[in-house]
Amino acid sequence: MDKILEGLISSDHTVPVKRAIVKKVVEAAEKEVAEEECQALFTLTTRLILLGDDAFQKQVGYQVLEAYARYHRSDFECFFSKDFVVSLLQQGFDQLDRKDPAAIDYIHCCLRLLISCPSVLEIFSVIQVEVLRMVCERPDPALCARLSTMLSDFVQCIPRDKSGILFCQQLVRTISYFHCFASQEQELREYVGQVTKVSALLQNIWKADPATLLPSLQEVFAIISSTDPSFDPSIALASLVQHIPVQMITVLIKSLTTDQNVKDASMTKALCRMIDWLSWPLAQHVDTWVIALLKGLAAVQKFTILIDVTLLKIEMIIPHVVHLVQSLRTDGLPTSKAFLLQFTELIHCMMYQYSGFPDLYDPILEAIKELPKPGEEKIKLMLNQSAWTSQSNSFASGPLRHAGKSETGRTGLVNLGNTCYMNSIIQTLFMATDFRRHVLSLHLNGSDTLMKKLQMLFAFLAHTQRAAYAPRNFLEASRPPWFNMGAQQDCSEYLRFLLDRLHEEEKTLQVLESAKPKVTSPADTCSKETTAQTPSETGEESFLPPVESKQDDDRRTLIERTFGGRLITGIRCMHCNSISEKEEPFTDLSLAFCPSAASQDGLQSAGPSEEPKVLSQGSVNGGSEMPEPGSGKAPTSHVHFVPVTNEPPLTVPDLVNYFLAPEILDEENAYFCEKCSSLRRAEKTMKVVSAPEYLILTLLRFSYDAKCHIRRKILDNVTIPPLMRLPVHDPSMLSQCSSCTSSPLQVDSPESSENLAKKLKPSQRDEEEDENERIDGAEQINGGGDTPVQSVPYVLSSVVMHSGISSESGHYYSYGRNINGTDGTQHPANFFTLKESVKNGQAKCSLSACSAFSVPPEQGETHAISGQEARDWLLFNDSRVTFTSFQSVQNITNRFPKDTAYVLMYRKQELPGQNINRGLTANGMRLSAEPPLQKELLDAIIKDNKLYLQEQELNARTQALQAPSSSCSFRPNGSDDNNPPGSCGPSGGGGGGGGFNTISRLVF
């Protein structure tokens, strides 16, 4: 009979014919058959089942085997012995591998045929040993699923007692190795089905033998809490959670959270992986366990773990929020609307708590713009309901896992603990192309100056292969003495201190160099007056000559030549018309906000009802909107708030013009006229007489409310023009143009700072009269043929944004645009027209030439640059650097009211045939290309890049050992500040962005 069957299978007959003959063979099983013939048939059918070429052969094998085993059971017992089972499981069958699932299916079928035979008991005992061995070998999901099916049908094959506990533990660990590499839906369904069968087996074992449950759960926790970087457990473990009795949550969580042997790092890992389980398709009760564990950790005040886990996993939300909101709107479920409203509130809380990433939050705001937004008080209430605080940062000493550089190719700066104020300023200075190139071109080998550290920092920002560089050395060298380490600080104050230090350092080294007898070209001090009040460092031995030689008549420092300008402060006695003038230097202009017309009669009387755009943070200490470089405390500001009006939003030129407006000195602030020898009513004006190469503007947004004794932030939106003009006076012609009003701020003059906010905004009638006088005066001057005022064009280079409601809280980030070329002709901003104000290389002295104004683009030219601007602008947010657009810069405050421009940097454009201010072009200061790296810088960067590559290789080898994670994670760049509420982090932000970093932290 076996010969007939074998010949039939290999014949060319049609399938129907073969089926008919097979049917005859099966019917013949009822008859008497010799033992040898039965054994031959069992061998043939086993071969067909295990090694059959197609499904038909396997089907025939099962049909014939079942028929003859049923009618000839004793013969089948002899064939399917325990030795045969051991051989099949340990060695396979002929060409069939021992781990082939077909072997398990075959044994499963044979056990059903022998279930009533005594010999099956011996086979059960053999299988108990073999399945434990197989599970320890980590079978794949397909084999494990077939094994689970067999064991579920024949529980006698499951190991017992201690072996049973070990079997459950090993089966749990086997599940942790299940990883799905399929991409097709059918394959994914098969994978989930296989995992479900294995978890169902464990459920049956736990129910039958409760003693196996706790050891199994201990094994689960041991797996998910492992900090071994070479092992990444599968989220298939989530399939076990639904089988754990919910009644055990309280006991298990309490035991887990109070176990002293569980380290914080292990608990953090475990909780993160449990959160990953939420993505398992059939996960049930996972959220219940996660919430219970969070509450358990909070109950024992393990807030550090909670904060770290939140920061590591919060970023998983961002890429899916928009899709989730859309799904909740369209799924039609009755509970979706309520959940959507609650979810929207949580989103606003997140954006309030973690501000500064508008590029991430813009799509989310667009998706929820039609949903109700909770008020600020409600947001604060929600945030304070379950506030977690931590005194330590568990990642402070751990390795930062930096991903590769972003598509921008730019390098971020690691936040070293509320150092966003420094990072934003450094990136702004780095984006000042001329300044960066000249810092890199200085010969500073062997020196230990602050300029040397800045040069090294710039070199790393330009050439490191790291995604983010940690400026620890520069922070230690440049941090003002009164800045507390780890505390939030004012970026404008830091900028002034940094520039003063660099300026004084170079002056000191020039003096030391000039004192050397062998120096052929001694350098004198660079200016008659200096803005710095900080003591210079005279202990440094290196000297700082730039690559290019300075002209004999220009020994200004690099800071003066780059950022320095000069202004003349004039006071005219309105009784005798005598004028007193004083020329002073400046490095930035601090622009106050214009007081409202309603508050002209009493600037100190603005009440809360007149301040709808200003938020209060309560009583705070320190902070400064106009600090003195050498002082740890800031003078009280007299800046006031602008009530809501129907007027168009303020612009930067509006603030400059208000700054340039005349100031009336009267009453308690009357001027003592030496000619009159008495106090007189006087007019104070300040005129820019030397335009800086880079114009730094600081918007005075932080002020002290003397009535409420609190500091406030002015949240008014200020439009930032991409190109503006600054009136610069010829100092030799000032007496001929005394009616022209221009008064740039002298930032280092306490007098001008004190009186800045006391300027009165003229009435409409006064403005008309002043305008007529200015136009008449301009006509007279033009008629004389002289041009005492030049309208100097500036193009926007960088903007530092402050996100928050106080100078002591919130977050700083910056926008920057790389301006290339030796002059303005190569910059994209030159698409903006200058035709209307430039003729023969000189600007006509008109009304607009005596005040600042922005230059709008001509029609058609905006489209020409829009595509380029979309990638020219960069958003620097600590470690994170992304492309953005100028439109984002202009609309940021509209989108996120607490995110406001604070420090702006404009770069001067030289007009054809014009050389204003004996600027950098005259000295050959504008370099057309990046200077080559000096050997010392190059060696340091090469050394660090090699170290970085070694780190990457080590990470790559580690990753190769572990299977890819099936969880979804979004890891953009950016390491951000972490501080208690009111700092550069929690409770400090506006509606801006988030803090996403290279170690997946969402905090500032």
Contacts of 555 (CB under 8 A, 6+ apart): 510, 523, 524, 525, 526
Q: Tokens at residue 57, please?
A: 């052969």
Contacts of 137 (CB under 8 A, 6+ apart): 99
Element (H, E) at 412: strand 412-413
Phi-psi region of 974 (alpha: psi -120 to 50; beta: other; left: phi over 0): left
> CB burial class (10 A; 0-12, 13-18, 19+) of residue 627?
buried
Say if residues 798 and 816 touch (Cβ distance below 8 Å).
yes
Contacts of 223 (CB under 8 A, 6+ apart): 172, 173, 176, 233, 237
**What distance in Å separates the CA atoms of residue 402 and residue 417, rounded to the nearest whole number?**
17
Is 592 strand, coil or helix? Answer: coil
**What distance in Å separates the CA atoms of residue 224 and residue 267, rounded to the nearest whole number?**
9
Residue 899, amino acid: D
Contacts of 811 (CB under 8 A, 6+ apart): 355, 356, 420, 802, 803, 804, 976, 977, 984, 985, 988, 989, 992, 995, 1004
Say if residues 408 and 883 touch (Cβ distance below 8 Å).
yes
Q: Tokens at residue 348, please?
A: 């606003």
Q: What is the DSSP letter of 584?
A: E
**What distance in Å separates the CA atoms of residue 634 and residue 804, rounded to the nearest whole number?**
20
**What distance in Å separates the CA atoms of residue 529 and residue 584, rounded to the nearest whole number?**
7
CA 987-991-994 angle, 5° bins:
75
Tell me if residue 110 is catalytic: no
Q: Tokens at residue 288, please?
A: 């219940």
**What distance in Å separates the CA atoms of residue 259 and residue 564, rounded to the nearest whole number?**
62
**What distance in Å separates the CA atoms of residue 664 and residue 99, rounded to the nearest whole number?**
94
Tell me if residue 811 is catalytic: yes
**What distance in Å separates the CA atoms of residue 815 and residue 796, rounded to the nearest whole number?**
10
- Three-state secondary structure readout of 99-138: CCHHHHHHHHHHHHHHCCCCCHHHHHHHHHHHHHHHHHCC
State the catalytic residue, choosing from 348, 402, 811, 827. Answer: 811
Q: What is the DSSP letter of 831?
A: G
Maximum CA extent, the chain: 143
Q: What is the DSSP letter of 96?
A: B
Say if residues 90 and 130 touch (Cβ distance below 8 Å).
yes
Say if residues 343 and 364 touch (Cβ distance below 8 Å).
no
Q: Among the residues of 738-806, which ranges form H helices?
A: 750-755, 764-784
Q: Tokens at residue 88, please?
A: 């099949």
Tokens 């170290």 -> residue? 947
**What distance in Å separates the CA atoms of residue 291 and residue 289, rounded to the nearest whole number?**
5
**What distance in Å separates the CA atoms of residue 265 and residue 280, rounded to the nearest whole number?**
24
State the catalytic residue, choosing from 110, 144, 157, 420. Answer: 420
Q: How many CB atoms lie within 10 A of CB 604?
A: 10
Contacts of 248 (CB under 8 A, 6+ apart): none
Tokens 């995604």 -> residue? 467
Q: Tokens at residue 880, please?
A: 């994170």
Say if residues 170 and 127 touch (Cβ distance below 8 Å).
no
Backbone angles phi, psi at 795, to 5 degrees: -115, 140
Report the candidate in 817, 830, 824 with the shortest Cα–Cα distance to residue 870: 817
Catalytic residues, which ones? 420, 811
